[in-house]
Amino acid sequence: MALILLASASGSPGVTTCAVGLALAWPRPVVLLEADPTGGSSVLAGYFQGWTQPNDAMVELVMASRANRLGEALPQLLEPLPGSTAARLLSGPRSHAQARSLMDIWEPLAFELKALDRGGQDVIVDAGRLGLTSWPTSLPRMADLSLLLLRADLPSLAAARQWAETWRSYGQAADSGQGHGLVLVGPNRPYGPNEITKVLGLPVLEKLSWDPPAAAVFSRGDRPGRRHRRRPLARDLGRLAEAIGRRLAESKDILTPPDPEEAP
């Protein structure tokens, strides 16, 4: 029941692409939560290719929360993510104007999502770009791991640099741990992970290869080719899922007090 938050500092580095790909590669049941205040579901318009109408989930959830039945309403609003038997989507704000009225829902929603299935359902949040009006500022505190996505060029690095301190503080303020870091999209174009870490003072958890055809499967709903699973991006997303799993296990070890029975 971990919550993993993905966001960007500037431009469009591939947060939604990564969120969809990661949900599909996730080894346990998972909910993909769209919390991008830009509005207009980029997953329904992209990966679903517009075949599914937005279900106004957020309005329903606000109403349910007012009636104290958020936990009851939530499961009915989750839609299966095609291509996975274990991933479901909770589509986010219909518009940027609607996002303004959702500021109070994110925290109770994240709480309910984490509690939804005690058997081990995780939550991946597509939080879009930092700094937008109505950005869900309460979510980083609820996150077990917050990952900032960026490309490896100078404009991306410059934008991320002025967010680095805030990003670090999100990790430190998190109720459940200290997880924060970077995911580099298109490494060595031209900067590598070491240079990025040196400038930003944040660890690069994983790199996602520059791979337009595989990215278009997740971002636009292109049909996967026969070798899609072996493509660099598909492979890297699997690695990212594993790296997140390891990081979460480490922070759990740090947070769990030693069992006195096992003391020497």
Ligand X SMILES: Nc1ncnc2c1ncn2[C@@H]1O[C@H](COP(=O)(O)OP(=O)(O)O)[C@@H](O)[C@H]1O
Chain residues that interact with ligand X, rule: CB under 6 A: 8, 12-17, 42, 185-186, 208, 210-212, 215-216, 219, 233
Dihedral sign from CA coordinates of 24, 25, 28, 30: negative
Q: Which of 10, 41, 42, 65 binds Mg ion (CB under 5 A)?
A: 42
**Pairing of the two strands 145-151 and 79-80:** unpaired
**Minimum distance from residue 16 beta carbon to ligand X (Å):** 3
**Of 8 and 251, CB closest to ligand X:** 8
Nearest-5° angle of CA 91, CA 173, CA 63?
35
Among 4, 10, 13, 16, binds Mg ion (CB under 5 A): 16
- Selected range binding Mg ion among 37-45, 54-62, 79-87, 254-262, rule: CB under 5 A: 37-45
Q: Identify the residue whose tokens are 């609820």.
A: 142
65 binds Mg ion (CB under 5 A): no
Given Mg ion, ligand X, none, residue 212, with its beta carbon under 5 to 8 Å by kind, binds ligand X
Closest Cα partner for 2 from 195, 255, 260? 255
Looking at the chain, the number of H-run helices and the number of E-run strands are 12, 8
**Closer residue to Mg ion, CB minimum distance, 41 or 251:** 41
- Minimal CB distance residue for ligand X: 14
| Residue 141 zone, left/alpha/beta (φ > 0; ψ -120 to 50; rest) | alpha
> Can you give the binding site for Mg ion, defined by CB under 5 A?
15-16, 42
